[in-house]
Chain A
Amino acid sequence: MILDIYSFSTLTSSIDNSLHNMMSPWMATLTEFVLVGIVFLLFYALLGLFLVYLERKVCAVIQNRIGPNRVGRWGIFQTFADFIKLLMKELITIKHADKFLFNLAPFIVIIASFMAMAALPFAKGLQAIDFNIGIFYVIAVSSLGVVGILIAGWSSNSKYSLIGAMRSGAQIISYELSVGLSLLAIVIFSGSMQLSTIVESQADGWWIFKGHIPAFIAFVLYLITATAEINRGPFDLAEAESELTAGFHTEYSGIKFAFFFLAEYMNMFIVSAIAATLFLGGWMPFHIGGWEGFNQIMDYIPSILWFFGKTFVVIYIIMWFKWTFPRLRIDQMLNLEWKYLLPLNLMNTVIISFVVLMGLYFK
């Protein structure tokens, strides 16, 4: 039983009602659009900066260092300072670059990752749009980002950028298949693509537990392929520092570089949020069947904390990958996808269909 005081529906519906009382229906809808947009923009920027800070602290812990500790207490304002510095820097456009595409690319990348936020269920009753094809929408818009990366590499008129962009194109397009297939596992289990329904279906147990071993395999495969999908180490070939200086964003400076940088971190948040929503129960609290007292205590923790807690656990795992694995070569990475992960995923999908048909999972 989830306590209703923690539900955001009360808050959102009261705002909705008061807006409708004040103005005409279309005006109210428009105002809501603007409000949600502003909230998301603020959330996006702040969370992006926080994730950069978190990454620097996590990698410092792994590397026996202290990390940023000068700007503000524990250095929490370090990334803000960095961001202001990037805002004030000169925007260099190189000779013979395709100016229009060069300027367009960072926006495509950042918009693609921004759009995916719309469908995420952050807490009980806190979701901008509840699509009936929510998960499909998230996969679709987040894969738009690769277009921006390809454009960035192509329009920069730099060989390193071009190589980075081409690698990234090959990588993202191949790994998208596996990401889609591993998410399909949960779609089969819950019988819906709507994210709110998927979350509701985990009220009595998360899919990673309910779905037996196949769901766990799907989760592991998703973690690996999602890491590749967002160009993070050990799959960071697109920006491999010791090979391609900085890959597709070598020639970008100032705020345009910051856009790529923020988009990269927000993509990490989005894939982690999807993992948390689909496999780890979204904003549902952790319940153990039969332990009534325990379950009630878990219910007292607000759903938004559950969602962000799970998401940050997944984010930590993805960061952990980056700082403890060397980078793969491009041929090894494509081999891994086409020869191992994709066949494994296909097989897993068949097994899951069988499990669901026979009703072998915990209901």
Chain B
Amino acid sequence: MREKATTLYFGPQHPGITGNMMIRLKVEGDTIVKATIEVGYLHRGFEKLQEKRNWLQSFTLLCRFCVPEPDPVEESYARAVELLEGREVPERAKYIRVMMLELARMGAYMLWYGGQNASLGLYTMGQWSVGDRNYILDLFEELTGGRIYHMYIWPGGVRRDLPEGFADKVLRTMDYFEKRLKDYDDLMFSSTIFRKRTQGIGIIPKEKAVEWGVVGPVLRGSGIHSDIRIDDPYEVYDKLDFIVPTEEGGDIWSRALVRRQEVRQSIHIIRQVIEKMPQGEYYNRIPNPLKWALPKGDAYARTEAVRGEVGMYIVSDGSIHPRRTHFRGAAYVHAITLLENLLVGENISDVAAIMNSLGTCPPEIER
């Protein structure tokens, strides 16, 4: 006898969902037979709005693409503009940018730690990691003036130089995090229940991963070594020593292990950056933004974010406004095609866990 399938609405007010989106689940018993992603709760028309703004004003929009980690989007846009204009970036600014990006990566991973565990019913982890994320936000506040939205990485360099004694503060924070990550391991990765809940769930097979367009840590969790920082080095990543971890499993557990190691690599990178950072200029000043026209043409720049590859494509017709901008975000692929494929055959208990392991960001989907 075939059970009658029921429709279950998961989100947008469901506590287990990440951001404002909805999944319509067809469920037989506890098993999902069909998943349909419904987006459109957060459309803000970022790309269209940018066409009405000058080249610098776009930054207030860029950081809202993905709230947990806004810096890679700014970085992509800034580099695309620099590419189009041929503007040189001082060496010191490059190092500061890398430090900024890695701090942002750590901050986003702290949120992931919380989200992934909350989806499995362990709320303590989120309280710890989000509490510790405040130390990163404190650094951001001192450096940029903003805790969440920084608008710090600008075309031509960075907005401000490092304050007095900032490097020491960063190093102290890194020491603190190194200590705390051990506690996180005790709570999360040593837990048998966590392993049992995540192993073999939400498997992305290696051969399918490329076909589905998976990027970032999710792809590395499926055993494919791919990272923009290595494959297409930007800023000073080619001068730094770090490894890109991969895991073979393709399930939530493997993705969690990849992220676990990446936080440690971020700490390693930040320490190197502080050590190697040269003195000198930090900003190749742009002309008056109200009269700042870019040459005709187009440019694309991509950055490795926590969610995967994020890229910004800009087209200029020689005026002070972009003719068209297009943003390529990992969340679009992950939260729509990938999630719809992954959820089929899974238990409804695992929906939130699978979603969190993919690193979705609804505003990025709808832009």
Contacts and interface: CB of A to CB of B under 8 A. Distances in A.
A353 interface: no
A242 B124 contact: no
16 contacts: A63-B127, A65-B127, A163-B348, A234-B193, A242-B352, A243-B348, A245-B14, A245-B16, A323-B123, A326-B117, A326-B121, A326-B197, A327-B197, A328-B196, A329-B196, A329-B350
Interface in B313-367: 347-352
A324 B123 contact: no
A105 B175 CA distance: 53
A240 interface: yes
* Size class of the contact patch on chain B: 20 to 34
Interface in A189-244: 233-234, 236-237, 240-243
A35 to B, nearest CB: 42
Contacts of A324: 122, 124, 187
B213 interface: no
Given A327-B121, A330-B30, A332-B196, A64 B349 contact: no
Interface string A319-346: 0000111111111100000000000000
In order of increasing CB-CB distance, the 9 nearest A-B pairs are A327-B121, A63-B127, A242-B16, A326-B120, A326-B122, A242-B352, A242-B119, A326-B193, A323-B124
B122 A63 contact: no
A197 to B, nearest CB: 39
Contact of A329 (B117, B118, B197): B197
B349 A240 contact: yes
Given A237-B349, A241-B15, A243-B348, 11 more contacts: A59-B123, A63-B124, A63-B131, A64-B128, A159-B6, A242-B16, A242-B120, A243-B16, A327-B122, A327-B193, A330-B347
Interface of B: 6, 8, 14-16, 30, 117-124, 127-128, 131, 187, 191, 193-194, 196-197, 347-352
A62 interface: yes
A234 B348 CA distance: 17
Contacts of B15: 241-242, 245
The residue in A237, A328, A329, A330 that gathers the most chain B C-beta atoms within 10 A of its C-beta is: A329
Q: Is the interface of B mostly helix, strand, loop or mixed?
A: helix
Interface residues on A, range: 20 to 34
B8 A242 contact: no
Interface in A252-267: none
B121 A242 contact: yes
A240 B121 contact: yes
Contacts of B197: 326-329, 332
Contacts of B128: 63-64
A1 to B, nearest CB: 45
Interface in A279-327: 323-327
A236 B350 CA distance: 15
Name the residue in B30, B118, B122, B350 with the highest tally of chain A Cβ atoms < 10 Å from its Cβ: B122
A234 B127 contact: no
Most buried by A among B15, B118, B349, B350: B349
A253 to B, nearest CB: 15
Interface in A48-77: 59, 62-65
A78 to B, nearest CB: 18
A62 B187 CA distance: 11
Contacts of B348: 163, 243
Contacts of A159: 6, 8
A59 B122 CA distance: 11
Interface in A144-181: 159-160, 163
Residue among A163, A236, A242, A245 with most chain B CB within 10 A = A242
A325 B350 contact: no
Contacts of A242: 15-16, 118-121, 352
Nearest to B187: A324
Contact of B122 (A245, A325, A331): A325
A249 to B, nearest CB: 14
A110 B119 CA distance: 29
A326 B196 CA distance: 10
A63 B197 CA distance: 22
Given A242-B16, A330-B349, A63 B193 contact: no
A241 B121 contact: yes
Nearest to A236: B121
Contacts of A326: 117, 120-122, 191, 193-194, 197
Nearest to B193: A326
Given A242-B15, A326-B194, A330-B349, A233 B124 contact: no
A329 B122 contact: no
Contacts of A241: 15-16, 121
Contacts of B351: 243
B345 to A, nearest CB: 14
A326 to B, nearest CB: 4
B14 A329 contact: no
